[in-house]
Structure 1
Amino acid sequence: MTLGASELIVNPDGSIYHLNLFPEDIADTIITVGDPDRVAEVSSFFDTVEVKKSKREFYTHTGTLKGKRLTVISTGIGTDNIDIVLNELDALVNIDFESRMVHEAKKSLDIIRIGTTGAIQSDIPIDTFLMSEYAIGFDGLLHFYDSSSIQEPRMAQAFAVQCGWPEQRAAPYAVKYDITLAKKFLSNRIRLGVTVTCMGFYGPQGRSLRLNADSNSFIEKLASFHYEGRVITNLEMETSGIYGLSKLLGHRAVSMNCILANRATGEFSKNPKQATQDLIGYCLGIICG
């Protein structure tokens, strides 16, 4: 099937619409970060940088470290941006832009999110490195795709029942990390967790400034959830979308989180920049080791 011009949107120079990239601009190993400024922080570890491109909040650097080609790209915040980035990265490796047809042989990317997050369990120390074993999405993104085959419906249902999830909100969904890729990053430095992906930073994460959240016990309800010996450990804004779309598209993904805040204890990292740099260094050491 040939993809129409309104479906596969290509810029006049032949690059993909939002990311402004050509297929040759990206490596098979992709590091995603939310903050555009963090792209340069990651690529500063590289031995060489061959590509530097940007459009809107999407900044991309591609280079090599210890002989391995890597791409780091900023997604911006939220699963709405993840929908753009994951679909366009996949298009770059699995669609022929000239014929506008999907390749018969599909390529799989390794996608590693390096991000910051807030813990909701009091026993998780600040600056901990946490890998999301599962992500529970509150954003509804996967409900727009034929995605039942890659979801974890029993976990999502257990969450909705235990936490009394309101019907007017999008139904929560749950997705697991890629086990094969995750094994590479496991060590005694890494804590496994269940990550909640929220569609906002304030009300959707139970914060109140001048607007009241609809529940005064939101964090407490999340913290009390339990499923097969697991509890919700942290909140952020991208992981469920990355896991869900990666599985649907045939890519491998893990989300690596640095705990900068603890909502249960009220603590915040004394040196968040250094903590994040340490996580970047850890991940690059695994990827290129």
Structure 2
Amino acid sequence: MPIKESELILNPDGSIYHLNLKPEHIANTIILVGDQDRISKVTSNFDSIEFKTQKREFKTQTGHFKGKRITVISTGIGPDNIDIVLNEIDALVNIDFSTRQIKENLKSLNIIRIGTSGSLQEHIPVDGFVLSTHGLDINGMLHSYQINSISNSDIEDAFIKQTNWHSNKSRPIVVNGSKKLLKKLESDITYKGLTATAGGFYGPQGRVLRLPVQDAELNSKMDAFMFNNICVSNFEMETSAIFGLAKLLGHEAMSINAIIANRAVGTFSKNPAKTIENLITYTLNKITE
């Protein structure tokens, strides 16, 4: 049965609604960044750029680096934007827009988030790179989907117990990242850990300006969490959503973050722009090896 126009929304030119993209515009390897200004920082390394577009915060450029075709897309901030981006990227390759039918042969993409984050652990230094072995969803977006096949209940139960997770909040969800992409991107200069994904920047990450938070001790509890040598390495707003939707849709996904602050020791990068530049160069070279 064809997907209804109200569910799969296309622009008058036939492009997908939010991203303003057609299937031929994207590569099989996709880099996601939050900040649209970071697109040019990635593609300035390219040998050539074949396509550019932007709609709202969603900016896309596709080109070639060392002979490999790569698409770079800005997602904006937060898991709600990731819900849009991942679903529309998948639709571009796995739904026939002319018939509105799901294709018989589904395609799996390689999706890599390049981001910035703060470390929660003393051993992960400022200016280091963290690869996310898991995403910890504490924002609840993934509960809109059937997630039993992708969640890790043993880690989730341990996290709930150790943090005394409030019953009014959504149950935490832990999703594995791609082992294939982890192996490709890791090296002796990368660190690994579980990346927590919040649904906001202030209260959801324990920041207090004028509004008190529900659990003022939650951050310290998260810092101390440990289960089978898995700890919460860093805190941001996209990784678990990318991991969860990618896994449900059959794509490979990995998140690599430049650490520009270490909350455990109270340090901040002296040159965060350089650290991000180094991460971009590192990632591009690793995915084209």
**TM bracket (short chain):** over 0.9
Please report how far the alpha carbon of residue 86 of structure 1 lies from its aligned counterpart in structure 2 after TM superposition. 0.2
Q: Which amino acid aligns with 1:160?
A: I
Stretches of structure 1 that go unaligned for 5 or more consecutive residues are none
Please report how far the alpha carbon of residue 181 of structure 1 lies from its aligned counterpart in structure 2 after TM superposition. 1.7
Q: Secondary structure in 1 aligned to 2:286?
A: helix
| 1:94-142 CA-partner distances (Å, limit 9, x unpaired) | 0110100010000010000000011111222101100000111011122
Q: Secondary structure in 2 aligned to 1:214?
A: coil
Q: Which amino acid aligns with 1:53?
A: T
Structure 2 residue aligned with 1:144 = 144
| 1:11-53 CA-partner distances (Å, limit 9, x unpaired) | 0110000000000000000000000100111011100001110
Q: Which amino acid aligns with 1:269?
A: S
Please report how far the alpha carbon of residue 211 of structure 1 lies from its aligned counterpart in structure 2 after TM superposition. 2.0
Structure 1 residue aligned with 2:105 = 105
Poorly superposed stretches of 4+, deviation over 3 Å:
none
Structure 1 residue aligned with 2:200 = 200
Stretches of structure 2 that go unaligned for 5 or more consecutive residues are none
Alignment of 1:84-233 (within 5 A): 84-233=84-233
Please report how far the alpha carbon of residue 186 of structure 1 lies from its aligned counterpart in structure 2 after TM superposition. 1.2
Q: Which amino acid aligns with 1:185?
A: L
Q: Secondary structure in 1 aligned to 2:63?
A: strand
Please report how far the alpha carbon of residue 214 of structure 1 lies from its aligned counterpart in structure 2 after TM superposition. 2.4
Structure 1 residue aligned with 2:5 = 5
| TM-score when normalising by structure 1 | 0.98
Q: Which amino acid aligns with 1:49?
A: I
| 1:256-280 CA-partner distances (Å, limit 9, x unpaired) | 0111111222211111110001000
CA distance in 1: counterparts of 2:13 and 2:168, whole angstroms: 44
Q: Which amino acid aligns with 2:216?
A: N
CA distance in 1: counterparts of 2:272 and 2:95, whole angstroms: 39
CA distance in 2: counterparts of 1:40 and 1:169, whole angstroms: 38
Residue 288, structure 1, aligned to residue 288, structure 2: yes
Structure 2 residue aligned with 1:72 = 72
| 1:177-205 CA-partner distances (Å, limit 9, x unpaired) | 11112111111011111110011111111
Q: Percent identity of the aligned residues?
A: 53
Q: Which amino acid aligns with 1:191?
A: Y
